Structure 1
Amino acid sequence: MTGIEFKSSPEFSLGMEIELQLLNPHTLELVDGILPLLAQDADNSYLQPEFKQASVEISSQICRNIHELEANIWDILCQLKTRCQNLGMNICAAGTHPFSTRFTPVTPLPRYLTQQHASGYLAEIMTTFALQIHVGMPSGDAAVNIMGRLKPYLPILLALSASSPFWSGYDTGFASYRRCFLSSLRTYGIPPTFPTWQDFSDFFITAQNAGIFEIIRDIHWDLRPQPNLGTLEIRIMDAQPTVKESIMLAAFVHSLILYLYECSKGRKTGFLLSPLPWLMEKENFFRASRWGLDANYIEDQEGNSRPIRNIVKDILDAIGMTADTLRESPYLHLLAQRLDSGPSYIRQRRIFENTGSLQAVVASLVKELAD
């Protein structure tokens, strides 16, 4: 088969995409604002439409380090907030909108309309919001190698990022209901493992011939290679209410990937999570989605489990020297502190318990992003 070219990018460069909620500032309900927002400046490259018109995606530039990424995201968000205010909208970020029950319309672009036709009713209720992190890879073989090594860590990233406990006005009992919902769609979920880039290329061409995918972007796995960008894209995380939380997770992912790369070359040794049989792998994703940081992670093929909080501490210890090299240690210290205070799903539930109001939950999300 003809291979797919992987256009390598600067090694371990960073990029970030955040899907944000567009809100009516008075009712805090989702508002279909992407078309007027894009009409303000059609050539704006850092603002992108998403599947639903009540969402806007911001995309960073290619950044050399975490500090450059943080500054770039702040700059984009400040510009976006001004544009939204001029149109009578507000913004917030979380994996789902806590109380919206309205079927928000699909953005009328050919790719999204095709996706809507293929997904049926699921497309009508698919209103979710993600954080996506890109890390530059030197080659396609390196990308799929790190992809396989990173896969056991995806439930950990899900638990750390969980911010979607509410759906259509209900407490779902999940820390990340967004991931639970998306796993029901045919092109989403746990990625396969590929020994080489040629194996991935052959897979994609076969799937393309079968009419499953048209382009790489039709693959919506929790983790996927992006050959046109030369990156590995981590897609499992819920959108984060604050920039600081997004950057903390980016630093964690960045240090972890470089650590895994160094281990693959025999230049580092230390704590590593190992691939598991399919059922145990799937169970870890479910547990992280359901219980977040309170989940027990199945760690070996005998079925032994440990609390995710303890495993996060082991990972942080293992990647500490790598984080020092990348000047990312302060962000990882903040991440360690959040093991006690908890991710957004805990904060959202606490506000609802204190107020009985999901509007108060959304108002808190608006304030967190603004602050």
Structure 2
Amino acid sequence: MDADGRARRFGVEEEFLVIDRRTRAAVARAQTVLDHARAELGDRVGGEITEIQVESRTTPCTTTAELTGQLLENRATLAAEAAKAGLGVVASGTPVLGTPIPSPITEGPRQDRGNATFRGLHHELDLCALHVHVELPDREQAVLVSNHLRPHLPTLVALAANSPFWCERDTGYHSWRTLMWTRWPVAGPPPYFTSAAHYDELVATLLEAGALVDDGTIFWDVRPSAHLPTLEIRATDVPITAEESAALAALVRGLVVSLLPAVDRGDPGPELRPELMRLAYWRAARDGLAGSGVDVRTGRPVPAAELARRLLETARPGLEEHGDLDLVTDWLDRLAAHGDGATRQRRAARDGRLTDVVDHLMGQTAPVPQDGKPQ
């Protein structure tokens, strides 16, 4: 709960790929989908950096049931409007079919500055993530909570791993999107910060050095939002289903709420060795929930399922506070039984046919019957 005893609000941004329903390849037709979907959803949908992606957003929610309802509505509307144009939307961290290199970047002065700054990095930007916003208007508190979140980020990456394919090949990784992001100058796990002033000082240095276009290109996996009174956690691939996105968001909110008392007690959070954080990220991206992760404090391998259990225990107070413990526990049990998104994508590739993977993703992202109307 917040300082006034109210449920702490949270919201989600989901990114999707637009695909041609005939070829199943990713295509630069995002504007076609958005032109129609905005009539139904308004500001809850928008464009992204490339013409292959669309984004949906929820309003601030107090319950996971409310959040789930908005996610389902957003996905169903996008899918229905896409289907009318012979298109589809899929929830995958990377394209399965199609070779969109260089990425078809949208046009505008900000995009021009990005192209000039990041150059070849803008050639491979067809990447889709889930961003969870947790209401936290005190920036000092938000920055210090990020220190406590850092040890758990690799486990979140593993839980939501959903990008095994890239440009029509199997990368051998569960979250190739995570590896793609590590190439950017300001991305991945955030540094350890001593205060909000420390955060602002470092951002100013990065801007002066030319590593950022503006505050919107701070791509750390945890950051105070540049325009909302929230802490934004953006470490993971977009999950395949709306229910998974909602459960992951509930887990993230529960984790933030559970960690806040330590900040309020003056605990600045653990200072982790950067090389172990990098190792843990790499292992989580490579193996997802299928093998072992890395304990970021010791560097020792630990079964990913055990790391997930530890994460759940850390988040338990916040989950219980908001009535989400059973929902998140059930989701983790389903992941253990059926595999993370990457495992399910590979399972869908019967006889190696990647078209079957796209069909699986399209059907799970937002099932739409033949008449184009959402179920």
Say whether the fold is shared (TM-score over 0.5).
yes
Q: Contact conserved, 1:187 with 1:221, CA < 8 A, in 2?
A: yes
C-alpha displacement of 1:275: 4.2
Q: Which residue of 1 aligns with 2:257?
A: 258
C-alpha distance in 2 between matches for 1:114 and 1:70:
36
Residues 1:366 and 2:362 are matched in the alignment: yes
Separation of aligned partners in 1, 2:97 and 2:85? 23
Listed one character per residue, the Cα deviations across residues 196-254 of structure 1 (whole Å, up to 9, x for unaligned) are 11111222223323333343211111121114201111111001111011111111111
> What secondary structure sits across from 1:90 in the alignment?
strand
Aligned to 2:203: 204
Q: 1:31 to 1:227 in 2, by over 3 A?
A: closer
Q: 3-state DSSP class of the match of 2:346?
A: helix
- Structure 2: distance between partners of 1:298 and 1:275: 16
Corresponding residue number in structure 2 for 1:188: 187
Alignment of 1:223-262 (within 5 A): 223-262=222-261
2:138 is matched with 139
1:96 matched to which residue of 2? 94
- Tell me the alpha carbon deviations over residues 133-166 of structure 1, each in whole angstroms, 9 at most, x when there is no partner: 1111130111011111001111000000001111
Counterpart contact for 1:256–1:319, Cα < 8 Å: yes
- Indicate whether 1:51 and 2:49 are aligned: yes
2:279 to 280, 283, 300: 283
Distance 1:190 1:263 in 2: 20
- Quote how far apart the aligned CAs of 1:301 are: 4.7
1:102 maps to amino acid: P
Q: What's 1:125 paired with?
A: 124
Which of 80, 83, 105 is the equivalent residue of 1:82? 80
Partner Cα distance (2:116, 2:325) in 1: 46
User: Which has the larger displacement, 246-255 or 106-115?
Assistant: 106-115
- After superposition, where does 1:104-119 map in structure 2 within 5 Å? 104-119=103-118
Change (3 A) 1:322 1:110: same
Secondary structure (helix, strand or coil) at the match of 1:162 reads: coil
Q: Which amino acid aligns with 1:336?
A: L
Between the aligned partners of 2:271 and 2:171, the Cα distance in structure 1 is 29
| Structure 1 position 363, deviation (Å) | 0.6
Q: Which residue of 1 aligns with 2:34?
A: 38
Q: 1:78 to 1:99 in 2, by over 3 A?
A: closer
Q: Taking structure 2 as the reference length, what is the TM-score of the superposition?
A: 0.89
1-structure distance, mates of 2:341, 2:147: 28
Post-superposition offset of 1:39? 3.5
Q: CA deviation at 1:109?
A: 2.6
2:59 corresponding residue in structure 1? 61
% identical equivalent positions: 27
Structure 2 match to 1:330: 326
Cα deviation, residue 302, structure 1 = 4.4
The 5 Å alignment of 1:147-162 reads 147-162=146-161
Aligned to 2:346: 349
2:299 corresponds to: 303
Letter in 2 for 1:65: T
Structure 2: state its 5+ residue gaps: 1-5, 368-375
Q: Determine the C-alpha separation between the residues in 1 that align with 2:302 and 2:167.
A: 33
60-69 or 173-182: which moved more? 60-69
Counterparts in 2 of 1:368 and 1:301: CA distance versus 1, 3 Å: closer
Amino acid across the alignment from 1:139: D
Q: Which region of structure 1 is more displaced relative to structure 2, 39-48 or 286-295?
A: 39-48
Q: Count residues with an aligned counterpart.
A: 357
Is the 2:29–2:52 contact (alpha carbons within 8 Å) kept by the matching residues of 1? Answer: yes
| Partners of 1:251 and 1:34 in 2: CA distance | 29
Could you tell me which amino acid in structure 2 is paired with residue 312 of structure 1?
A
The Cα of 1:336 is off from its aligned counterpart by 2.2
